[in-house]
Every structure is written in structure tokens, then in C-alpha cells.
Amino acid sequence: MGLIVQKYGGTSVGDLDRIRNVARRIAKTYDQGNDVVVILSAMSGVTDQLIGMSGRISKNPDMRELDVLLATGEQTTVALMAMTLIEMGYQAQSLLGYQAEILTDDKSCKARIMHIGASRITDLLETRKIVIVAGFQGADARGNITTLGRGGSDTSAVAVAAAIHADQCEIFTDVDGIYTADPNICDKARKLDRIAYDEMLEMASLGAKVLQIRSVEFAKKYSVPIHVRSSFHEEEGTMVVNEEANMEQVIVSGVTHNKNEARITLRKVPDRPGIASRILNPISDAGIQVDMIIQNTRSGHMTDLTFTVAKNDYRAAMEISRQTAKEIEAEEVLGDEKIAKVSVVGVGMRSHSGVASRMFATLAEENINILMISTSEIRISCVIEEKYTELAVRSLHTAFGLDAGE
Amino acid sequence: MGLIVQKYGGTSVGDLDRIRNVARRIAKTYDQGNDVVVILSAMSGVTDQLIGMSGRISKNPDMRELDVLLATGEQTTVALMAMTLIEMGYQAQSLLGYQAEILTDDKSCKARIMHIGASRITDLLETRKIVIVAGFQGADARGNITTLGRGGSDTSAVAVAAAIHADQCEIFTDVDGIYTADPNICDKARKLDRIAYDEMLEMASLGAKVLQIRSVEFAKKYSVPIHVRSSFHEEEGTMVVNEEANMEQVIVSGVTHNKNEARITLRKVPDRPGIASRILNPISDAGIQVDMIIQNTRSGHMTDLTFTVAKNDYRAAMEISRQTAKEIEAEEVLGDEKIAKVSVVGVGMRSHSGVASRMFATLAEENINILMISTSEIRISCVIEEKYTELAVRSLHTAFGLDAGE
């Protein structure tokens, strides 16, 4: 008996049959005596289809109106789900973002949730209704519809869970949970039973697409336990929770990789104060996010500056860099799209030393050259040649004792 | 220079090209110095598609949730239209029903507009924005989405026009205006330049599908001039306005026909007080609307009762009537689906006598038997055999001097 928030993604509600399956799962949770609030995404493909439609109107469609358009996706699924549950004999009611009082800032297409006035949801729960809330959407202070960006339904779910003090926020998805590595390239990868918010944050920012980063930030801030699990079967998935004492006993919780970055180097840049921002400002002014940055001092007054960007920003970033190089009289601009970033993540690093050297040694043993390194308190990332990605992930997975059966 | 409300139906916004065409028309009106508020329907076919989807979930889908589902149709078109206008360089903004403060009662799927708080619309107009309002939808006092029933966008348009004191409400449709008869069966039919609200109300209730009846009632109540015109060309259509002095000079403004009714007769019913309601109550309890009712007294204590219902209610009404006949010991129940109702309409009837007799004489001349008659102050309707419909319409059109060129 508890208060459960369940979030189902687009694949789980992709057609009427799947909606019926999800409805049965919701009903089962309800029948066990729980109060249930459900957050839904749009049917898979619908959001892309709507974006495509707006793209035929304008290369830069008005963002306020794009939000109005996109919000129809979740509106459709919550209505269909409520209908389905009612047809099954349950009391259910849909709420759109503004009806659920999900108040956001006014940044169209990437709004952030400011506040959730939970009264309408809790009123419905008190009458033992199943409440079906449209994910991904909210409203700003003036009542304009806003959306929360890709994966925003995760954040809707966690935020609602926080607002109504839910006992658990279940995120149903098409994977079984969080793995120690991508099972597609590492067949010894294991599903984690528990993972700390901070670890999940690092993994999400490294490209593990299971949860939107902001949803994890929200969960951490309000200590909402997230249960990432499959919508296709009933097995337990992975709990994302506050750091626990025994978590530190494990040095590394997971190995991740990201092939979606490219590297740009400006060689022989005159080494003077402010040169890094002189190079990187035009990049960020173009809306391009820079991930890793490394500056090597060369002999004399020259330096090399290397940074990585997402692959689909690579061409634009190269063009800007060539222009900047000309202006600051750098010698040349080198680009490399054939790179990958492999990382080890674990709160255990805080108390264990030697993680970095073990990582470097493992890669060296396989003759994998390290091109760049960056670290956080609980993560070490190395950029390597792309072709070594799978080998690197498997070697690190073994080296840090993560292989299944160990 | 004025304040113009324009309403475009589903065919006019059926795809992105058509939306672009409509946007150009809106822009032209705006460029002439007018303030413009636009009401849009869903793309043609979309509402039926959504209803079909809900029908696969339930034979009686929950009406509140059906409204949430249906409202996505207009939400899509207003967003796309606003985007298109903005792409063309105009300032435009969409408003959904609740954002335009269209307050309705809480009757899902057939809500009635109670009030429109026009402040948001007029605020936007003051900044010279083109305001694009979702038709067909509103919200009840608790913020639930409601819809106004088939053709509800007409009512949205007229109600908004009334609320903001618009100079004119233009209803763009796929016909050129209101005709003296259906041009498909009467090639001498003429487009009317002007028609009185009351005449339009009679015509709409007789099955002329150009305007939703409620929109005309609203227009009459608030004296909103409606201009019914084609979205395919720029010619003037028909103005629907308050009755004017010279309108009475014309005896009959139009001849209409309706093949969508069926007739049911209960023969030899015991003639006692309350027998009509004993027969008709079960019909209306089943949600079936009865149009014409005639009771003939027979010799002795017996009477015949005849009434008409819409054709798609015929079977249900027959079944109920047979049951009632058994209970009240009527002799038999006769049904006839092969009937039509032809009507002449005109405010001129108020001051001209002899309209009825001219109508009956005209039908008699063509050997058309009259099965039932009903009248209002400005209308005379005759039920005839269906096969005579076209002949009757053409004869009456000529007899009342409506033929083109006269």
C-alpha cells in the first residue's frame, strides 16, 4: 500500500494494444491497494512527426507555437489511457500539464519546472481515482503551454512524485534497468540493483539515455527513489537512490562509452591570457556545447588547444574554428570524428585511490592510446580512437571486477 | 479598417498548403488595416479519425476524455497557422479554448458557451498581433476541456465576435453562400445577398448545413453580422443579419428539403388524455429527437398518431413504438423511410397571406401528395414521398418567384 508514480515512455503507449497492456499494469498496481499517478509520453514517433510538420513550415518554427503543437502528443495518449481504464471499470481522469498545475519558466521547448501545485492531483487521489498526467508539458505563469525538452516526461514524473511525496517513482522503459556497461558490446554486463543519484547523473551525461539528466537532478534534490524497469515484464529493475554506505565498497559501478563526439585541435596558438575564451566563445555563441577542453603548453609562446563537441555540431564548429584560427594566427586546425569517450563511474572512487592508474594501465595493456583525459570526483573519462571502443569497454569492465559471475 | 473575426473550416486547413493559402488571406485582411481574430477547425477528417480511435477503445467512450482527445485537432491547426503567419513575417499567436477564456457549462461533447472573457484576445490585438483561436473547444469552470458539438467552431467564431464587439464575423466555407435552394437539385437556385437570422435558423434546422444553429442563435442574440463566403475565391457571399424592412417584400427567401427523416404511425390508438406523451416519452427517453407530430382523430375513441425522427434513429424508434403499441393496445405500427420534407422559408410570410395555399396548390399541380404539414411563423413544411423531392423543390422555387433571372 503506497503512493506510486509510474511513467511510461512512447514505445509502451505506441498503439491501442500497448495502451491496453499498460492499462492492465496500472490497474494491477491499483488493485494492490496503491494510489497511482501515471505520467505518459506521446506515442512513439508522434513527436518527431510533429516536429517534421513544423519543419515544413519553417526552418526555425516559432518555439511558443511548436510547444502548442508538440503538447498534442501527450494530450492524445492521456485521453486514450483514461478512456481505456474507464472502459475496464476503473475510475480514471486525465490531467494536462496546466491542469496538473505544472508551472514552468517561459523558455519554450526547454522549459524548467518551477513548481507543481499538487492539490488537483491529490484531490483526485482522495476519491480513489487513477490520475493520468501528460508528461513533457507544463504551463508558464501566463498560461502558455511549454515543453520540457527531449526526455522531459521523466522529469515530469519525478517532479510530480516529489510534489505529492510519492513512495516511489517507477520509470518504465524498453530496457531492464541500468547496466554496468552497454550489453550490446559487453556481454558480461550486469544489471545493477541500486545506483546512486550522482552515478546516474554521470552516466546520463555520458550518453546513457535511460533517464533525462534533469529528472535525476530533481530526484536527488527531493530524494525521490526512482525505479527504472522494463514495461515488457515484471522483474525488478534498478533503483536510483541516495548514496548508501555499502555503495562505496564497489570502486566502479559502470563503464560507459560515447561515440557521439568529435575532436577539434587548434595548433600553435599564441599563448596569451584569454586565448581559450577567444577560441571557445564563438563556438558557444553558435549554440554549440563544448564537452572536454585541454590546453597543452608547447615550447615558447605557443600552445595547442583541443576540445570536443557533439558530432552533429562538428562541421559548424570546424568552420568557426578555422575562422578564429585565421584571426588569431594559429598555425592550423585539426579535426577528428573517429574518436570515442570511455568512462568509469563510481562513488567508490571517493574512498579508493588508484582508479585512474588502473584505468590507464588497462588501456595501455591493450595498446590503446589515450588522446584526452578528464575527471570528476566520481568519474574518469578517456578519449580514444573510435575503433578501440568495444575492446576498451570490455577490458575496463573486467579490470574493475564488474563481469557477471564475479 | 475594422475588427474582423474569420472562421475557416476543416477543408480550408486540410493540409499545409491550404493552411498557407488561408494564412495569405488572413494576412491580406490584416494588411488592409484590420484587426484580425481567426477561429480554426481541425483539419478535415481529423475529428472523425479521433472519434474512430476512441470507438476502438469503447462503444461509449468517456465523454470528458473524448473532449480532451478531440481538442487536439484544433490545437494542431492553430499552432501550425500561427507558425505559418510568423514565418511570413507577421506577428501571430495561438490561443486554445481555455486560454481565450471560452467558458462553457460542463456538458462534455455538447457544451454551451456561458461567457467569453475577451481580455486576453483584446490585449493581443492591442499589440497588433493576429490572434488564432482554437474553435470547437472551451473549458468549464473547473478547467476541464469541453467541446461544443459538430459545427461548434461556427459558434466559437460568433461568440468571440460578440465578446470583442467585432464589426463582422466571416465564416469561410466550401460553398459560395446561402442559396434559395440546393443548387445540386435546382439549377435556377440563386445565392442570397442577405438573409435574416430567423430565416437562417429555420434553414439550419431544416438541414441546410452551412451554419451550426447555435451560432446563428448567438449571432441573433448579440446582433453579430455573419458573412458566409467561400474560402476558394474572393467574391462576396451571403450576409446573415437582423431582419430589415425590405426583407418582408420577398414572400419566400428559400426552399429547402430534407431527406433525412422517417415517419412512424401508430394506428388505432385508444384516444384518451396523455396518450401522445405515453407514446413519445419512451422515444425521447432513448435520446431520440422527434421532429413533426400529427394526431388525427378517427371515428369513435380511436386516434392515429404520426411522427418523424431522423433516419438513423428510425430502427430504434420503431422498436420502442412496437413495444408501446403492445402496451397501450394500439392496432398496428407503420413505418416509412421513403419520405422527404420540403419547406418554404421567409420572414415575408408574416405580412403576406396565402403562402400556404400557394404551396399546397403548387404541389397538387404536380400530383404530389402531402403526407404531413407543419408550420412556424416564417416557415411551411410538407412531408411528401421521397421520390418527388427534386420536382417539389423546383416547382416551389418557380412558384414563389425565386428562379434566377426573375
Residue A208: the pLDDT is 63
Cβ of A86 and B53 within 8 Å? no
Task: Give the separation between CA A362 and CA B61, rounded to whole angstroms.
Answer: 61
Q: Inspect the interface and report whether the beta carbons of A80 and B69 lie closer than 8 Å.
A: yes
Average the pLDDT over A291-302 and give the result: 80
Binned at pLDDT 50, 70 and 90, residue A245 comes out as confident
What pLDDT was estimated at residue A382? 94
Q: Are A205 and A196 in contact (CB under 8 A)?
A: no
Neighboring chain A residues of B69 at a CB cutoff of 8 Å: 75-76, 79-80, 83
- Rounded to an integer, the average pLDDT of A12-17 is 94
CA A356, distance to chain mean position in Å, is 25
Contact of A224 with A158, CB cutoff 8 Å = yes
> How many Å apart are CA A111 and CA A109, to the nearest integer?
6
Coil, helix or strand for A285? helix
Closest approach of B384 to chain A, Cα-based (Å): 44
Q: Which residues of B touch A76 (CB under 8 A)?
A: 50, 69, 72
Q: How far apart are CA B285 and CA B111, in angstroms?
A: 20
Question: Coil, helix or strand for B374?
Answer: strand
Best CA proximity match to A380, nearest among A361, A403, A402, A355: A355
Q: At the topology level of CATH, where does A244-406 sit?
A: VC0802-like (3.30.2130)
pLDDT of A30 over the 90 cut: yes
B contact test, residue of A15, A58, A65 with most B CBs within 10 A = A65
Mean pLDDT along residues A6-34: 96
From the list A54, A71, A98, the residue facing B83 with the nearest CB is A54
- In terms of Cα–Cα distance, which of A396, A389, A387 is closest to A360? A396
Give the pLDDT of residue B76.
98
Residue A218 has pLDDT above 70, yes or no: yes
Mutation test of the interface with chain A: which of B46, B62, B88, choosing the one with the most A Cβ atoms within 10 A? B62
**Tens digits of per-residue pLDDT, B217-271?**
999 999 999 999 998 889 999 999 998 878 878 889 999 999 999 999 999 998 8
Rounded to the nearest integer, the mean pLDDT of chain A is 93
In chain B, whose CA is at the least distance from the CA of A60? B87
Distances (CA, A) of A292 to A277, A306, A341, A382: 14, 8, 10, 10
Q: Which portions of chain B are predicted below pLDDT 70?
A: 207-208, 298-299, 405-406
Q: Do A57 and B80 touch (CB under 8 A)?
A: yes
* Helix segments in B90-147, DSSP class H: 119-126
DSSP A263: E
Q: Residue B163: CB partners within 8 Å, gap ≥ 6?
A: B116, B117, B118, B121
Looking at CA atoms only, how far is residue B362 from chain A in angstroms?
A: 54
Q: What is the pLDDT of residues A316-350, one digit of tens each?
A: 999 999 999 999 999 999 999 999 999 999 998 88
Task: Say how far apart CA A294 and CA A308 lie, in whole Å.
Answer: 9
Are B80 and A69 an interchain contact pair (Cβ–Cβ within 8 Å)?
A: yes
Q: How many CB atoms lie within 10 A of CB B123?
A: 11
Q: What torsion, rounded to 10 degrees, do the Cα atoms B95, B96, B102, B106 define?
A: -170
CA–CA dist A244, A222 (Å, integer): 16
What lies within 8 Å, CB to CB, of A353 at 6+ separation is none
Q: Quick: pLDDT tens for A83-142.
A: 999 999 999 999 999 999 999 999 999 999 999 998 999 999 999 999 999 999 999 999
Between CA B96 and CA A137 the distance in angstroms is: 15
Contact A267, A332 (CB under 8 A): yes
Strands of A14-123 (E only): list them: 35-40, 92-95, 102-104, 113-116
Q: Mark yes or no for CB contact B143/A69 under 8 Å.
A: no
Burial of A199 (0-12, 13-18, 19+ CB in 10 A): buried
Give pLDDT, residue B207.
63
Contact predicate A50/A69, CB 8 Å = yes
Q: What is the CATH number of domain B3-174?
A: 3.40.1160.10
- Report percent pLDDT > 70 for chain A: 98
Q: According to the model, what pLDDT value does residue B401 have?
A: 93
Domain boundaries, chain B: 3-174, 244-406
At B406 the pLDDT is: 56
Q: Edge-to-edge strand order for the sheet containing B113-116? A: B113-116, B102-104, B137-139, B145-147
Q: Could you tell me how far CA B95 lies from the centroid of its own chain?
A: 25
Q: Is B109 left (phi over 0), alpha (psi -120 to 50) or beta?
A: left
pLDDT tens-digit readout, B110-168: 999 999 988 999 999 999 999 999 999 999 999 999 999 988 999 999 999 999 999 99
Q: What is the ipTM of this complex?
A: 0.84
User: Which value, to the nearest 10 degrees, does the dihedral of the CA atoms of residues A342, A344, A350, A354 take?
Assistant: -80
Alpha-carbon distances, residue B303 vs A335, B262, B271, B375 (angstroms): 97, 20, 5, 22
CA distances (Å), origin A60, targets A68, A184, B27: 15, 36, 20
Q: What is the structure's pLDDT at B274?
A: 83
Reading the block at residue A368, the C-alpha cell is 590503446
Mean pLDDT of A143-152: 92
> Does residue A295 surpass a pLDDT of 90?
no
Judging contacts by C-beta atoms under 8 Å, the chain A residues touching residue B82 are 62, 65, 68
C-alpha grid cell, residue B18: 491550404
Half-sphere exposure of B290 (CA within 13 A, CB side): 22
Measured at the CA of A228, the angle between CA A261 and CA A128, to 5 degrees, comes to 140
At A41-97, the pLDDT tens digits run 999 999 999 999 999 999 999 999 999 999 999 999 999 999 999 999 999 999 999
Find the length of chain B.
406
Which residues in B lie closer than 8 A to residue A99 (C-beta atoms)?
143-144
How far apart are the two ends of chain A, measured CA to CA in Å? Answer: 36
Residue in A58, A75, A145 closest to B72 by CB? A75
